[in-house]
């Protein structure tokens, strides 16, 4: 996927000498900051995984518009180029209830699944852990099996066309009752849908969201061999992250960025190698951080915390994964080595099975070596 001309531009010369012609220069080249088209090409071709993206935030505007027309419904928020104008988590969650509530046909679910697999691949992602929260999809509440089957058909179609492999993280909602949460997990354990790799929890982590209520559900999932991830440190502070790890046994934290408020916890996450699935643009749009430039991702990396870059709800924000790599690199002055490290964490922390993870790491190593050899 790398355009040779741009590669030549990127690695051809530096101060009259060829990059990569000896070890020292290769080292420098590796650390060199990329820019412009060269950065875009490198980031898009970089083999990676996406581990924090919601199916609810991947509905193509065309599918949403057609469903709205069929139901005679109008968006509760202003649309700009098909993307809703959203500024808070509450508005986002209400919009998701509305848009997903329009989807009542299996073929639309399959199309959302297919396009999600394709969308990831267009950013160089080989694999995605995609979160789906059944509470947003009222037409499928009593038909969870049919919903997962329709999505799986779409993912398979997408993969056949060169899309990313998708694993599903079935999500509880923070405000759900313990009983409802246990019902979802019991269903997962009884049915064991092939696509499902993990139990997740998302939504508003503030009032009434205490992780203790979900402890048993997550314990059951762990004992049944499912992975676990949890939204925390977005609308909750560091205590939410601690609870997610200690009460829910979360292997990965979705967001987690508010741990910066607790330096001791930052050190602990670094020592315990707990990965954070960070989504900078989402955090800016929803007011978790004031600006991209002040996002704590760079400080977290410097403190040794393992972080990956993700999009959260790309269709709502009008972004894609490769674009997030580009934007973060341009903002924080990251080079080849930094973006390679982020991609490595995304793959290592993914819930892909071991052979797939190894194959992805090999692709990544090959890409980085090829790029340096120029």
Quote the least distance from Cβ 279 to Zn ion, whole Å: 6
Quote the least distance from Cβ 278 to Zn ion, whole Å: 10
d(CA 133, CA 153): 18
Nearer to Zn ion, 108 or 312 (CB): 312
End-to-end CA distance of the chain: 14
Specify the stretch interacting with ligand ADE by CB under 6 A; choose among 14-22, 49-57, 259-267, 303-311: 49-57
* 56 binds Zn ion, rule: CB under 5 A: no
From the list ligand ADE, Zn ion, none, which binds 50 (C-beta under 5 to 8 Å, kind-based)?
none
Nearer to ligand ADE, 50 or 312 (CB): 312
Classify residue 254 as exposed, middle or buried by CB count within 10 Å of its CB (0-12, 13-18, 19+): buried
Nearer to Zn ion, 25 or 230 (CB): 230
Q: Which residues contact 241 (CB under 8 A, 6 or more apart)?
A: 232, 233, 253, 256, 258, 259, 265, 269
Identify which of 170, 118, 37, 169 has the alpha carbon closest to the alpha carbon of residue 315: 118
141 C-beta neighbours (distance < 10 Å), count:
11
From the list ligand ADE, Zn ion, none, which binds 313 (C-beta under 5 to 8 Å, kind-based)?
ligand ADE
Identify which of 97, 60, 63 has the alpha carbon closest to the alpha carbon of residue 77: 97
Task: Considering the candidates 111, 234, 324, 348, report the single residue annotated as catalytic.
Answer: 234
Residue 234 annotated as catalytic: yes
Q: Which of 7, 44, 48, 54 binds ligand ADE (CB under 6 A)?
A: 54
* 313 binds ligand ADE, rule: CB under 6 A: yes
The phi and psi torsions of 318 (rounded to 5 degrees) equal 65, 40
Angle (nearest 5°) at CA 39 between 32 and 345: 80
Quote the least distance from Cβ 254 to ligand ADE, whole Å: 7
Nearer to Zn ion, 312 or 338 (CB): 312
Number of residues counted as binding Zn ion (CB under 5 A): 1
Specify the stretch interacting with ligand ADE by CB under 6 A; choose among 54-62, 185-193, 245-253, 362-370: 54-62
Classify residue 229 as exposed, middle or buried by CB count within 10 Å of its CB (0-12, 13-18, 19+): buried
* 324 binds ligand ADE, rule: CB under 6 A: no
Q: Is 129 helix (H, G, I), strand (E, B) or coil?
A: strand
* 40 binds ligand ADE, rule: CB under 6 A: no
Nearer to ligand ADE, 112 or 126 (CB): 112
Per-residue binding string, ligand ADE, 221-260, x by CB under 6 A, is ----------x--x--------------------------
Q: Is 368 helix (H, G, I), strand (E, B) or coil?
A: helix
Using CB under 6 A, which residues numbered 107 to 166 contact ligand ADE? none
* 57 binds ligand ADE, rule: CB under 6 A: yes
* 312 binds ligand ADE, rule: CB under 6 A: yes
Using CB under 5 A, which residues numbered 253 to 312 contact Zn ion? 312
Per-residue binding string, ligand ADE, 157-196, x by CB under 6 A, is ----------------------------------------
* C-alpha dist (Å) from residue 219 to 35, 57, 246, 342: 46, 28, 11, 30
Instruction: Give Dmax over CA atoms of the chain in angstroms.
Output: 68
* 48 binds ligand ADE, rule: CB under 6 A: no
Classify residue 26 as exposed, middle or buried by CB count within 10 Å of its CB (0-12, 13-18, 19+): middle
Positions touching Zn ion (CB under 5 A) are 312
Residues catalogued as catalytic: 234
């Amino acid at each position: 996927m790398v355009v040779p001309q741009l590669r030549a531009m990127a690695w051809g010369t530096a101060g009259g000498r060829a990059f990569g012609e000896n070890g020292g220069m290769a080292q420098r080249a590796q650390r060199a900051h990329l820019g412009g088209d060269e950065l875009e090409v490198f980031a898009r071709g970089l083999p990676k995984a996406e581990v924090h993206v919601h199916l609810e935030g991947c509905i193509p505007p065309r599918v949403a518009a057609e469903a709205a027309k069929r139901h005679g419904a109008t968006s509760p928020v202003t649309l700009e180029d098909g993307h809703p104008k959203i500024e808070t988590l509450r508005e986002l969650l209400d919009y998701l209830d509305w848009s997903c509530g329009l989807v009542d046909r299996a073929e639309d679910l399959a199309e959302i699944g297919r396009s999600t697999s394709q969308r990831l691949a267009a950013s160089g992602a080989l694999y995605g852990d995609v979160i789906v929260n059944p509470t947003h999809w009222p037409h499928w509440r009593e038909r969870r099996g049919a919903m997962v089957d329709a999505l799986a058909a779409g993912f398979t179609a997408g993969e056949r066309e060169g899309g990313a492999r998708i694993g599903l993280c079935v999500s509880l909602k923070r405000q759900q009752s313990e009983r409802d949460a246990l019902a979802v997990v019991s269903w997962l354990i009884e049915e064991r849908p092939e696509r499902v790799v993990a139990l997740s929890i998302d939504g508003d982590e503030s009032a009434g969201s205490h992780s203790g209520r979900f402890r048993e559900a997550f314990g059951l999932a762990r004992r049944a061999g499912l992975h676990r991830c949890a939204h925390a440190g977005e609308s909750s502070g560091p205590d939410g992250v601690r609870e997610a790890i200690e009460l829910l046994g979360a292997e990965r934290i979705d967001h987690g960025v508010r741990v910066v408020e607790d330096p001791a916890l930052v050190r602990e996450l670094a020592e315990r190698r707990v990965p954070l699935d960070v989504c900078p643009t989402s955090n800016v749009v929803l007011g978790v951080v004031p600006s991209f430039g002040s996002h704590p991702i760079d400080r977290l990396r410097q403190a040794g915390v393992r972080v990956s870059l993700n999009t959260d709800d790309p269709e709502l924000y009008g972004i894609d994964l490769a674009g997030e790599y580009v934007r973060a690199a341009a903002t924080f002055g990251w080079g080849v080595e930094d973006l390679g490290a982020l991609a490595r964490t995304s793959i290592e922390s993914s819930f892909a099975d071991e052979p797939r993870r190894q194959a992805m790491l090999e692709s990544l190593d090959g890409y980085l070596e090829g790029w340096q050899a120029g």
